[in-house]
């Protein structure tokens, strides 16, 4: 079976990690008898600087017929971040109903947590982030620009459908894992959307009596992710809170360079998108030292997702092989590491070592 994948390397280190990782992904897939057909799109901030648009008109239609999307990074020092994000990444998530963002945070064997003196247990939790609405719904505006009484309004939008979709996905995951779900809100301060979120957690939770539910305010959750990251199993949070908490999760498990993510349409109607959690890292772009492992892990999640979606056991096996190769490399103290993990190796040598 051929899986038709759209590649959007994007900005900064995105194209570097992608260029080196894709041949490896293809080789592993082929070894499992899985055929991957990649179509690359050179959309991103360079295009914006030349043409005024991050992607051509109709770009969402071009992605619609692919089976999945692999994206590198979005963001450029000369392009306002809200322009690059709303010009490329967020429309893809919205158009393809990718309302569930799954972001695992795992302290891999051989990787040290940078938390000083951390001697806790294994860190292995997964964040389910609402991904198409909430605080990132593009609703708001500015009035009286430039005047003393200027005002900016940014509304958060929580629909029953969107909230239920991510909450249900999180309960399903918790039921398959250790049966513990932490719902993160700010219900004491945001008196409309967050109590609504809490109600939906209670309603959906009634269908999962085997899952225990803890509710945390986002400030307490941020503190606990640093203080007791090993205590979490599954976390469900809104778009903004999930975005922030997953960066903390990536840091306490060693590096942003090891954090993958899946933006999934739980209805299975549209292509899902896979991307490293890290951004474009303009400070190291072009230096050849970006950690490619988050991209390899994201490709692994893509293959696992395709395997499940279309019943292709070979694709699932290829995904497991990729994931295992990363685990093995990190467990090997003599293997090359990029500077984010304390090493001095480059992107290409980390991938060359993974190939061996
Ligand atoms: N690889 C993902 C990326 O480039 N992220 C940049 C970013 O700021 N993302 C915000 C988000 O994930 O909502």
Would you call 128 a catalytic residue per the annotation? no
How much is the pLDDT for 337? 97
Would you call 247 a catalytic residue per the annotation? yes
pLDDT at residue 233 greater than cutoff 90: yes
The tokens describing 278, both together, are 């890290």
How much is the pLDDT for 356? 64
90 Cα: distance to centroid of ligand 1 (angstroms): 9
* pLDDT tens, residue by residue, 294-346: 999 999 999 999 999 999 999 999 999 999 999 999 999 999 999 999 999 99
Radius of gyration of the chain, Cα coordinates, nearest whole angstrom: 20
**CA–CA dist 77, 58 (Å, integer):** 26
Instruction: Sketch the domain layout of the chain as residue ranges.
Output: 1-99+259-356, 113-253
Model ipTM value: 0.91
The tokens describing 161, both together, are 């459908």
Q: Do domains 1-99+259-356 and 113-253 have the same CATH topology?
A: yes
- The best mutation among 10, 54, 74, 93 to test binding of ligand 1, ranked by most ligand atoms within 8 Å of the C-beta, falls on 74
279 Cα: distance to centroid of ligand 1 (angstroms): 5
Q: Taking CA 147 as the corner, what is the angle to CA 145 and CA 150, rounded to the nearest 5 degrees?
A: 60
pLDDT at residue 107 greater than cutoff 80: yes
- The best mutation among 81, 85, 103, 133 to test binding of ligand 1, ranked by most ligand atoms within 8 Å of the C-beta, falls on 85
Grouping H, G, I as helix, E, B as strand and the rest as coil, residue 116 is coil
Residue whose CA lies nearest to ligand 1 atom number 1: 73
73 Cα: distance to centroid of ligand 1 (angstroms): 7
Q: Could you tell me the pLDDT band of residue 248, with boundaries at 50, 70 and 90?
A: very high
* pLDDT tens, residue by residue, 114-159: 887 777 789 999 999 999 999 999 999 999 999 999 999 999 999 9
Ligand 1 lined by 134 (C-beta under 6 Å)? no
Ligand 1 lined by 92 (C-beta under 6 Å)? no
CATH 3.30.70.580 for domain 1-99+259-356: no
Distant-in-sequence, close-in-space partners of 97: CB < 8 Å, separation ≥ 6: 132, 265, 267, 269, 270
Burial (CB count <10 Å: 0-12, 13-18, 19+), residue 298:
buried
First to last CA, the chain: 26
**CA–CA dist 185, 183 (Å, integer):** 7
Average pLDDT over residues 42-63: 98
Residue whose CA lies nearest to ligand 1 atom number 6: 279
Q: What percent of the chain has pLDDT over 90?
A: 96
Q: Could you tell me the pLDDT band of residue 20, with boundaries at 50, 70 and 90?
A: confident
CB 154 within 8 A of CB 162: no
Q: Which of 274, 281, 335, 316 is nearest to 299 (CA)?
A: 274
**CA–CA dist 29, 35 (Å, integer):** 7
Grouping H, G, I as helix, E, B as strand and the rest as coil, residue 241 is helix
How much is the pLDDT for 156? 97
Ligand 1 lined by 276 (C-beta under 6 Å)? yes
Grouping H, G, I as helix, E, B as strand and the rest as coil, residue 244 is helix
Q: Is the pTM of this model over 0.90?
A: yes
Strand-pair category, 272-276 with 260-264 = antiparallel
The CATH homologous superfamily for domain 113-253 is Isopropylmalate Dehydrogenase (3.40.718.10)
Ligand 1 lined by 87 (C-beta under 6 Å)? no
Q: Mean pLDDT for the chain?
A: 96
CB 9 within 8 A of CB 19: yes
Out of 186, 265, 312, 340, which one is annotated catalytic?
186
């Amino acid at each position: 079976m051929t899986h038709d994948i759209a590649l959007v390397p994007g900005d900064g280190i995105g194209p570097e990690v992608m260029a080196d990782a894709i041949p490896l992904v293809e080789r592993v897939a082929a070894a499992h008898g899985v055929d991957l057909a990649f179509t690359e799109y050179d959309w991103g901030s360079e295009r914006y600087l030349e043409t005024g648009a991050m992607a051509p008109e109709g770009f969402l239609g071009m992605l619609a017929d692919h089976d999945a999307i692999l994206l590198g990074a979005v963001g450029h020092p000369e392009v306002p971040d809200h322009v690059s994000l709303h010009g490329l990444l967020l429309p893809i998530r919205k158009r393809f109903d990718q309302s569930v963002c799954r972001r695992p945070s795992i302290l891999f064997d051989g990787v040290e947590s940078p938390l000083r003196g951390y001697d806790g247990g294994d860190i292995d939790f997964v964040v389910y982030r609402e991904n198409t609405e909430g605080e990132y719904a593009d609703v708001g505006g500015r009035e009286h620009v430039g005047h003393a009484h200027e005002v900016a309004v940014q509304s958060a939008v929580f629909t029953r459908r969107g909230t239920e979709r991510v909450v249900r996905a999180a309960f399903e995951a918790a039921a398959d894992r250790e049966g513990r779900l932490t719902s993160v809100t700010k219900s004491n301060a945001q008196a409309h959307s967050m109590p609504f979120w809490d109600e939906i957690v209670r309603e959906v939770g009634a269908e999962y009596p085997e899952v225990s539910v803890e509710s945390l305010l986002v400030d307490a959750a941020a503190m606990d992710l640093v203080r007791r990251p090993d205590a979490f199993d599954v976390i469900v949070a809104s778009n903004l809170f999930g975005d922030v908490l997953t960066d903390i999760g990536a840091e306490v498990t060693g590096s942003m360079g090891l954090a993958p993510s899946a933006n999934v349409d739980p209805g299975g109607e549209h292509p899902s998108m896979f991307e490293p959690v890290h951004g474009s890292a303009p400070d190291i772009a072009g230096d050849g030292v970006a950690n490619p492992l988050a991209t390899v892990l994201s490709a692994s999640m893509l293959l696992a997702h395709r395997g499940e979606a279309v019943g292709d056991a070979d694709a699932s096996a290829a995904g497991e092989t990729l994931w295992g190769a990363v685990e093995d490399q990190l467990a090997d103290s003599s293997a090359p590491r990029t500077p984010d993990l304390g090493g001095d190796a480059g992107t290409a040598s980390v991938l060359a070592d993974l190939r061996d």
